[in-house]
């Protein structure tokens, strides 16, 4: 699992595939390590075994409310992958507003 976030630290990331529904359940948490208050969103990337992005989904962090330095916030979503092929990995990127 890849992480590219200079303002936050990825504390955990779990992804579980449910083949009957073609859904990936993704949950995790990030911690603000920026020394300032942040607000933003994460982009969840579904990647092929070679690392190529085969799907991307934006998800607001902390219901788009600010979170302070040192605070951890969770995310939890389900992604329908019926139209996505060859997804083997999940990575996360944080973008601040």
How far apart, in whole angstroms, are the C-alpha atoms of residue 58 and residue 41?
7
Quick: pLDDT tens for 25-75. 999 999 999 999 999 999 999 998 899 999 999 999 999 999 999 999 999
Q: What is the pLDDT of residues 77-94, one digit of tens each?
A: 999 988 887 888 889 999
What one-character DSSP code corresponds to residue 51? Answer: S
Domains of the chain by start residue, with CATH: 8-96 (2.60.40.10)
Task: Give me the pLDDT at residue 87, please.
Answer: 83
Residue 73 neighbours by CB under 8 Å, 6+ apart: 29, 30, 32, 61, 62, 67
């Amino acid at each position: 699992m890849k992480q590219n976030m200079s303002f936050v630290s990825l504390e955990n990331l779990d992804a579980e595939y449910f083949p009957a529904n073609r859904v990936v359940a993704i949950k995790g948490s990030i911690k603000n390590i920026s020394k300032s208050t942040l607000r933003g969103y994460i982009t969840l990337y579904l990647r092929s075994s070679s690392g190529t992005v085969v799907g991307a989904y934006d998800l607001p962090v902390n219901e788009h409310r600010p979170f302070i330095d040192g605070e951890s916030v969770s995310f939890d979503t389900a992604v329908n992958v019926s139209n996505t092929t060859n997804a083997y990995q999940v990575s996360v990127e944080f973008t601040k507003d």
